[in-house]
Amino acid sequence: MRLQERLQKELDDLRLADQFRFLRQLTPEGINSRLDGRLLLNLSSNDYLGLNAWPQLRREFYERMEHTADDAFALSATSSRLLTGNHPGYMQLEAAVSKLYNNRESLVFNSGYHANVGILPALTSRRDLILSDKLNHASIIDGIRLSEAEFKRYPHLDFDRLEAVLGRLRHKYDNVIIITESVFSMDGVVADLSRLVELKEKYDALLVVDEAHGVGVFGEQGCGVCEEQGLIDRIDIIIGTFGKAFCSAGAYAIMNKLFRDYLINKMRSLIFTTGLPPVVVNWSRFVLEKTVKMQQNRLHLQSLAEKLREGIRAAGGKTGGESQIVPYISGSNTAAVKLAERLREAGLLVFPIRPPTVPRGSSRVRFSLTAAMTEQDIERILEIL
């Protein structure tokens, strides 16, 4: 079959299954977004602390930056970090991140995707085994596929099954890496990292935790679930992102010096890409300084999420989780598509979440809350539902 014919058939099949995706043009306006001329409450962003709806924060950043060198505003690093792209902002940002994580080593990347597709292939060989939670993000799966290591997926948060695999297979491999998310982005479920730490220590494994949806939201300083559960120093590699709660771009990993040095020398998605623009890196450091002090915002966000979950359950809906991400599970693709359409008509910006992002039969709309919202916003959502 010619390539064009095969591609067209696959797209037609996606349309028939209500899984066809397309890009929309949206204009953010505070906690709302304008879509097709209508202003809708934005319940689909990852702006968990509501910083994007805080224009005075951007003004303060630019006013402060006016007193620094002009190159702090540069819009391109013009090179990879290992050539001439490692501008001073990187050193300052990594120092700030390290300080938050008990002075452990940190390394900044262009995105969480860059981190996840680069770290595992760099650190593993064909004599190693990777054990991954079945619902881990696609970027983690892609990183596993790019590695030479063998891998197995354990049932979602089933640590007894994970331990059974470790007990049966650990002795066959030089190294075993367990990898998980801390907050699972489609369910809003928080992993019991203390249990994973116990397993990795018992079976001489390494533990990698992706905190993409945990940083900024959990912990006294916003360092994530690892801070909330008191485990910063016992997790081998912690991955965080600047692109969600911190309202910037890029990502980072916390680790020991040996791992950091090795990744700088071997991690392809770090070595072979242009660095982040200085203005973005400096913005990330500026925001980081602010969010450390936003514990009341974090508590407010969790209160809003719990109010929404309770309201959905009281109305007979199916939901779950214990984070700022609140799913409303409808089941079929068609039901999720129609529900999302009706909610958008009523003024709520939500989209259907369908396979392969979630398992078959569990399609849903997902309410992604921000600390800039109020209890009145939650009451409005529940009234519409």
Q: Which of 133, 181, 187, 228 is catalytic?
A: 181
Distance CA 180, CA 136 (A): 6
Contacts of 277 (CB under 8 A, 6+ apart): 74, 75, 76, 77
DSSP 274: B
Catalytic residue among 94, 210, 211, 228: 210
Q: Which residue has the tokens 């309202």?
A: 247
* Residues 6+ away with beta carbon under 8 Å from 87: 71, 74, 77, 275, 278, 281
The span from the CA of 110 to the CA of 274, in Å, is 8
Residue with tokens 């939201």: 217
- In the set 46, 147, 333, 363, the catalytic residue is 46
Specify the residue for token string 């915002």.
Answer: 297
Element (H, E) at 12: helix 3-16
Residue 114 is a catalytic residue: no
Q: Do 245 and 271 touch, CB atoms closer than 8 A? A: no
Please report how many Cα atoms fall inside a 13 Å half-sphere around the Cα of residue 376, on the Cβ side: 1
For this structure, is 110 an active site residue? Answer: no
Q: Is 60 a catalytic residue?
A: no
Candidate list 87, 114, 200, 244, residue with the active-site label: 244
Q: Which of 87, 114, 200, 213 is an active site residue?
A: 213
- In the chain the beta strands, taken as DSSP E runs, fall at 26-29, 32-35, 38-42, 105-109, 128-133, 150-154, 175-181, 206-210, 237-241, 251-255, 325-331, 348-349, 352-353, 363-368
Please state, in angstroms and rounded to a whole number, the distance separating the CA atoms of residues 277 and 90.
Answer: 10
Instruction: Name the strand (E) or helix (H) holding 300.
Output: helix 295-314
Does the active-site annotation cover 156?
A: no
Respond yes or no: is residue 300 known to be catalytic.
no
Catalytic-role residue among 116, 132, 185, 269: 185
Residues known to be catalytic:
46, 137, 181, 185, 210, 213, 244
